[in-house]
Amino acid sequence: MAEDHTHDHPHDHSQFQPDLEDKPLTHYQAMTEAVGELLIEKGVISGDELRAMLELIDAKSPAAGAKMVARAWVDSAFKARMMDDVLAAAEELGIDAGGIPILAVENTPEVHNVIVCTLCSCYPRQLIGLPPDWYKARSYRSRTVCEPRKVLAEFGTVIPDDVEVRVHDSTADLRYMVIPQRPAGSEGLDEAALADLVTRDCMIGVTLAKAVG
Amino acid sequence: MSARFDIGARVSVRASFPPGHVRTPFFIRGKTGVVTEILGPYRNPEELAYGRSGEPAMPLYRVSFHTADLWQDYDGGTKDSTVVDVYENWLDEAAGEARGETS
């Protein structure tokens, strides 16, 4: 679109992607901005420290969790330690899982686990990165507890009737991650190849690990 | 700190609706489940939220419910369960007979 185009033609500019600034800040957005600015103004933190922290948070990815799951698949003793203490098990692999306790729940032929936080959007960010928008949406948070099988089906995951669907609502001080079942046909794969089968969504429990091949 | 409830204990969640920052979801209030894990002592979030100490810490439990007990017309099968982390101040000993809870 040319800079000098005139507005004597009837098109609606609202059809374009709005900028973030087009909407007024919500109360909490304004509070967050204000606290951030105050901390910098008073010299508690520097702007660069704030930026670096955001960069660190954004850099977290599901790769850390995937690495742990792949190790758990090939090493049952490691899996036992992970089920007992995720943070310590992460440290064994050189992964910083942060200070918030995380509990791993394991899928089996009898039980399919899925994670939700109905109250807000608690999520094991250190191991699987930032939560997807749908995880934070009211729709996922409310429907996963009352009609989990329908929600899973919308993700393409149909759980047989004779398998228990176990929903974990992380309402309190812990975070949860799912250890998916190891896919059939993955026997010959090394740990790195196995980790490639472990997606963010299967560690939330809305899908299974990727099929081999 | 000793935990009031053991693993396997049947517990009822208080049917209480206080104002403020409460981390017990509405859909389990007044419902009965089974303690599956004792997670250890945690400070009271209802106090922490307002800048108070939250001390003394109290036990946090994982409580498993039959999903069909939580929702009328739940059509996902009787095996399905919902596990929620609940602080001890929200739990009472459940009255009545047990009915095949999941562990």
What ranges do the domains of chain B cover? Answer: 10-93
Q: Half-sphere exposure (CA, 13 Å, Cβ side) for B86? A: 31
Structure confidence at residue A115 (pLDDT): 98
Using an 8 Å CB-CB cutoff, list chain A residues near B77. 161, 164-165
The yes-or-no verdict on residue B99 having pLDDT over 90 is no
Rounded to a whole number of angstroms, the distance between the first and last alpha carbons of chain B is: 24
Alpha-carbon separation of residue A56 from A110, A166, B100 (angstroms): 38, 32, 46
The yes-or-no verdict on residue A54 having pLDDT over 50 is yes
Structure confidence at residue A2 (pLDDT): 47
Instruction: Encode pLDDT of B37-94 as tens digits.
Output: 999 999 999 999 999 999 999 999 999 999 999 999 998 888 999 999 999 999 999 9
Alpha-carbon separation of residue A28 from A19, A97, A137, A172, B82 (angstroms): 19, 28, 17, 22, 31
| pLDDT band (50, 70, 90) for residue B102 | very low
The yes-or-no verdict on residue B98 having pLDDT over 80 is no
Structure confidence at residue A36 (pLDDT): 94
Structure tokens at B38: 């004792």
Cβ atoms A106, A179 nearer than 8 A: yes
Structure confidence at residue B29 (pLDDT): 97
The yes-or-no answer on residue A202 being catalytic is: no
**Ordered domains of chain A (ranges, CATH):** 13-58 (no CATH), 61-204 (3.90.330.10)
Which of A171, A174, A176 should we substitute to test contact with B (largest number of B Cβ atoms within 10 Å)? A171
CA dihedral of residues B12, B15, B20, B26 (deg, nearest 10): 80
CA distance B96 to chain A (A): 25
Of A110, A114, A93, A132, the closest CA to residue A177 belongs to A114
Structure confidence at residue B101 (pLDDT): 47
Instruction: Encode pLDDT of A118-136 as tens digits.
Output: 998 889 999 999 999 999 9
Give the residue-averaged pLDDT of A40-56. Answer: 95
What's the CATH code, domain B10-93? 2.30.30.50
Instruction: Encode pLDDT of A74-114 as tens digits.
Output: 999 999 999 999 999 999 999 999 889 999 999 999 999 99
Alpha-carbon separation of residue A135 from A77, A121, A142, A173, A204 (angstroms): 32, 7, 10, 18, 9
The yes-or-no answer on residue A186 being catalytic is: no
Structure confidence at residue B103 (pLDDT): 41
Using an 8 Å CB-CB cutoff, list chain B residues near A170. 85
* DSSP single-letter state for residue A23: S
Inter-chain touch A169–B45, beta carbons under 8 Å: no
Q: What are φ and ψ of residue A74, in 5° steps?
A: -95, -10
What is the chain A residue with the closest CA to B72? A146
Give the three-class secondary structure for B69.
helix
Structure confidence at residue A1 (pLDDT): 46
Structure confidence at residue A175 (pLDDT): 95
Which of A12-21, A40-49, A83-92 bottoms out in mean pLDDT, i.e. has the lowest?
Answer: A12-21
Of A52, A209, A56, the closest CA to residue A129 belongs to A56
Structure confidence at residue B42 (pLDDT): 95
Percentage with pLDDT > 90 across chain A: 83
Inter-chain touch A171–B70, beta carbons under 8 Å: no
Using an 8 Å CB-CB cutoff, list chain A residues near B87. 172
* CA dihedral for A178, A113, B8, B1, sign (positive or negative): positive
Alpha-carbon separation of residue A4 from A1, A7, A12, A173, B15 (angstroms): 9, 10, 17, 56, 65
Cβ atoms A209, A196 nearer than 8 A: no
Residue A6: is it exposed, middle or buried by C-beta count within 10 angstroms (0-12/13-18/19+)? exposed
Strands (DSSP E) found in chain A = 102-106, 111-116, 164-169, 175-179
Inter-chain touch B27–A166, beta carbons under 8 Å: no
B4 touches chain A (CB under 8 A): no
| pLDDT band (50, 70, 90) for residue A12 | low
Instruction: Encode pLDDT of B19-36 as tens digits.
Output: 999 999 999 999 999 999
Structure tokens at A168: 């974990």
Inter-chain touch B80–A164, beta carbons under 8 Å: yes
Structure tokens at A103: 């509990």
Q: Which residues in A have their CB inside 8 Å of a CB on B?
A: 101, 118-119, 145-149, 161-174
